[in-house]
Amino acid sequence: MEVAKIENVTRVYKMGEVETQALRGVSLSIESGEFTALVGPSGSGKTTLLQLIGCLDQPTSGKVFVNDKDISKLNRSRRADMRRGTIGFIFQFFALIPTLTAYENIEMPLLLTGESATERRTRVTHLLEAIDLSDRAHHRPDQLSGGEQQRVAIARALATQPTLILADEPTANLDTPNGKQVMEIMTRLNQETGITFVFATHDPRVIEYARRVVTLRDGRIVDDNGKEK
């Protein structure tokens, strides 16, 4: 089953009078359960592609489908609805709310989807175990290491049991052991839950974990091994 499909998408950013072509006609299909890496140098369009699939941005032309629904023309509020519960995000910077504890950060998306208190407690406790941070549940982000923060971010992305998780350079700010641990957790969760993972990276150690590698350059897909390794 197709989780996301992109049809001939372009994205042009206007900065004053200067136009930047971030994507120049990209088509891509992501199947359920994939563990796919988007690779390419800086400025190749990886992040833009992730933001379009993630309903954070809209294409200049072309169409984007998530779960068979055309999201390219949705208004802001509808896109927020789409993100909530369907898509989980993991960012390069450890994107946690600094004033909330690890537990509360993971719980946040569940509050937005309106889960009951019992359900929230069960899921958050389970996720904290899955990322091996049960003992750090009530620590704030500034009391956690970079690797721990990124693990909390992964747990938060998984909290609503989305169909798709998008990760933008998830290991870029981590040292090798922590990067490895994060990738192993993501791989394990992909296998255990069947949730689709798409991540942008240019770290060769991370690419090794991907079963499919899509290479972008100058806003175009130049290589797609297309099939599972």
Partner 1 sequence: MYQILKIAIRDLGRNRRRSFFSALALAIGLALLLLVASFFNGEMNSAMDSTIRLQSGHIQVRAATYEESKASLKWEDLVVDPEQIVAQIESLDAVKLATPRLYASGIVAVREESAGVRIFGIDPLSEANDPYRVGMLEGEFLTPDDRQGVLIGEPLAEKMALQVGDSINLSVNTSGGDVDEQAFTIRGIYSTQTFGFDSLTVFMPIAKAQTITQTEKHTSFIFVLLHNKDDADAVAAALQGTNNQIRTWTQMNELILQTEAMANSYIYFMYLIVLGITATVIINTLIMSVFERTREIGILAAIGMKSRQIMSMFLLQSTLLAVGGVIMGLIFGLLVVTYFTQNGFYIGNMGLTGMLIGNTIYAQLTLEDTITLTVISFIITLLAGLYPAMLASRMEPVQALRGGK
CA distance 90 to 175: 17
Region near partner 1 per CB under 8 A, out of 107-115, 144-152, 201-209, 212-220: 107-115
Cα–Cα distance between 108 and 114 in angstroms, integer? 10
Please name the residues in contact with 149: beta carbons below 8 A apart, sequence gap of 6 or more: 94, 96, 141
First-residue to last-residue Cα distance in the chain: 18
Min. distance of Cβ 207 from partner 1 in angstroms? 24
CA distances to 120, 131, 151, 192 from 188, rounded to whole Å, are 22, 10, 13, 6
Binding of partner 1 at residue 156 (CB under 8 A)? Answer: yes
Q: Is 91 in the site for partner 1 (CB under 8 A)?
A: yes
Sequence-separated (6 or more) residues with CB below 8 Å from residue 136: 102, 128, 143, 144, 148
Stretch that binds partner 1, among 32-40, 77-85, 129-137, 172-180 (CB under 8 A): 77-85
Question: Can residue 45 be called a binding residue for partner 1 (CB under 8 A)?
Answer: no
Among positions 74, 108, 137, 207, the unique one binding partner 1 when judged by CB under 8 A: 108
Single out the residue of 56, 74, 137, 172 in contact with partner 1 (rule: CB under 8 A).
Answer: 56
CA dihedral 136, 139, 142, 147 (to 10 degrees): 20
Select 93 or 122, whichever has its Cβ closest to partner 1.
93
Q: Does 117 bind partner 1 (CB under 8 A)?
A: no
Looking at beta carbons only, is 27 or 113 nearer to partner 1?
113
Site for partner 1 in 200-219 (CB under 8 A): none
Residue from 78, 60, 49, 51 nearest 12 by CA = 60
Residues forming contacts to partner 1 in the complex (CB under 8 A) are: 51, 54, 56-57, 76-77, 80-81, 83-85, 88-89, 91, 93, 95-100, 104, 107-109, 111-113, 156
